[in-house]
């Protein structure tokens, strides 16, 4: 059973460009979480999605950031008009249900904004 | 809101030494508690968990006991190895919250074990 897949693993963008980060949850998992890890800091929750629904986006910046988890295909975290402060590692996690205790993390996408 | 505080690192130890990483939490409900480990360049792996007071989580020689009276979940290992060098994160998930099990993380503690 493949784990959580994220791509790309490394992404370099110039200021003002768009960044798209993809996450494929584990097989059978329909719940996806996105977290951001700034340099030398812990992970901060961004958004929680189920298929075709955003359940909790309380951790998402109000502007430039959006997320989706379509019926088919991976979950996408989209950052428009990136700025240097967006440079971070973005981790996706999945779980099989809302009541499940465990979240399984992907290897992360390291975004660098130049 | 919910928060997790863990001791700052780095923690440098010799092989076979005893490791303790302190973790305390604040939560309004009845959280589940977790320790995750992050090896260099990798994502987080669940190390152990405890879902109610007085539960003890254990895995790979690591242990942590859910202490509701002191709101703590300290991680311990009796004899560390070089391969235990990593960053350790304490986290909680408040089951009482309406939407999902989002994790609240501490800042992480870097552990370096020297041969």
Instruction: Write out pLDDT tens, residues B64-98.
Output: 999 999 999 999 999 999 999 999 999 998 766 55
Instruction: Write out pLDDT tens, residues A19-61.
Output: 999 999 999 898 999 999 988 778 999 999 998 999 999 999 9
- B108·A101 Cβ contact <8 A: no
Residue A74: CB atoms within 10 Å: 18
Tokens of B34: 């977790």
Pairing relationship of beta strands A19-24 and A75-79 according to DSSP bridges: antiparallel
- How far apart are alpha carbons A20 and B72 in whole angstroms? 38
Pairing relationship of beta strands A10-13 and A109-113 according to DSSP bridges: parallel
B83 interfacial to chain A (CB closer than 8 Å): no
Instruction: Write out pLDDT tens, residues B51-73.
Output: 889 999 999 999 999 999 999 99
- pLDDT, mean of residues A95-106: 79
**Choosing among A10, A101, A106, A107, which should be mutated to test the B contact, i.e. which has the most B CBs within 10 A?**
A101
């Amino acid at each position: 059973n493949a784990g959580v897949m994220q791509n790309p693993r490394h992404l370099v963008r110039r200021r003002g460009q768009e960044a798209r980060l993809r996450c494929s949850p584990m097989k059978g998992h329909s719940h996806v979480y996105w977290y951001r890890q700034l340099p030398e800091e812990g992970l901060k929750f961004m958004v929680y999605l189920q298929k075709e629904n955003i359940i909790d986006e309380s951790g998402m910046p109000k502007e430039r950031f959006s997320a989706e988890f379509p019926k088919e295909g991976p979950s996408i975290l989209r950052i428009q008009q990136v700025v240097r402060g967006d440079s971070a590692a973005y981790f996706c996690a999945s779980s099989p249900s809302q009541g499940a205790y465990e979240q399984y993390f992907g290897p992360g996408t390291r975004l660098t904004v130049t | 809101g919910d928060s997790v505080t863990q001791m700052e690192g780095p923690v440098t130890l010799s092989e076979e030494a005893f490791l303790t990483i302190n973790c305390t939490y604040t939560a309004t409900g009845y959280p589940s508690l977790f320790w995750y480990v992050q090896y260099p360049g990798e994502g987080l792996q669940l190390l152990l968990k405890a879902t109610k007071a007085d539960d003890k989580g254990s895995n790979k020689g690591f242990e942590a006991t859910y202490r509701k009276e002191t709101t703590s979940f300290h991680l311990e290992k009796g004899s560390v190895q070089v391969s235990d060098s990593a960053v350790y994160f304490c986290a909680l998930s408040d089951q009482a919250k309406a939407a999902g099990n989002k994790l609240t993380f501490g800042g992480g503690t870097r552990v370096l074990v020297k041969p």
